[in-house]
Structure 1
Amino acid sequence: MTKADIVTEISEETGIEKVMVQATVETFMEQVKAALTKGENVYLRGFGSFIVKKRAEKTGRNISKNTTIIIPAHNIPAFKPAKTFVNDVKENVKVKK
């Protein structure tokens, strides 16, 4: 499902114009990104949390040059689904073969 699909589904279910739904979805995503950029987590009860994870410094390998490199500590965005969300997916998803 793409962002356009989400906008279409919301527009059809609510009767709100696609342009307004598109603007709302875009603004929501911008606000989540802005919060994570500031180091703040975003909690959506019943859905999940957008969080900032801290990755520790580690040693890596550059296999093309056969050298060891140090990968510095850094932060990455992550999503942690709510328990109810996980349970709904476990119980209702039909695997495609």
Structure 2
Amino acid sequence: MTKSELIKMVAAQADVADSTAKAVVEAVVAQVTETLVQGGAVTLAGFGTFSVKPRTARIGRNPQNGQEIQIPASNRAMFKPGKALKDAIQ
């Protein structure tokens, strides 16, 4: 599902205009992003939790020539599905 498909589905289910649904979806995405940038977590009961997990620097290998390379530390966005979502997709 693409973002535009999600917007159309939200608009249909909530019985609102596409422009209103678009504003709501974009606001939710922006707030989740902002919270993660600040290092927080977003928990949606029954759906799951978005969080940030730090990754340490490590040594990897270039697959083309096998040479060792230094991979810098970074932050990674994570999603842990909630119980209701896990149960729904099994």
Q: What TM-score does the superposition give when structure 1 sets the normalisation length?
A: 0.84
What is the root-mean-square deviation of aligned Cα atoms in Å?
1.2
The CA deviation at 1:87 is 1.0
Give matches, 1:46-61, under 5 Å. Answer: 46-61=46-61
Q: Find the counterpart in structure 1 of residue 3 from structure 2.
A: 3
Identity fraction in percent: 34
Deviates more, 1:53-62 or 1:30-39: 53-62
Structure 1 residue ranges, 4+ long, deviating more than 4 angstroms after superposition:
none
Mapped partners of 1:66, 1:8: distance in 2: 47
> What is the number of equivalent residue pairs in this alignment?
90
Unaligned runs of 5+ in 2: none
Aligned amino acid, residue 38 of structure 2: K
The CA deviation at 1:29 is 0.4
Unaligned runs of 5+ in 1: 91-97
Q: Find the counterpart in structure 1 of residue 69 from structure 2.
A: 69
Q: Find the counterpart in structure 2 of residue 22 from structure 1.
A: 22
Mapped partners of 2:88, 2:41: distance in 1: 23
Mapped partners of 2:36, 2:51: distance in 1: 7
The CA deviation at 1:79 is 1.0
Mapped partners of 1:88, 1:57: distance in 2: 37
Q: What TM-score does the superposition give when structure 2 sets the normalisation length?
A: 0.90
Aligned amino acid, residue 48 of structure 2: G
Aligned amino acid, residue 80 of structure 1: K
Q: Find the counterpart in structure 2 of residue 94 from structure 1.
A: none
The CA deviation at 1:65 is 4.1
Q: Find the counterpart in structure 1 of residue 38 from structure 2.
A: 38
The CA deviation at 1:5 is 1.4
Aligned amino acid, residue 77 of structure 1: A
The CA deviation at 1:7 is 1.3
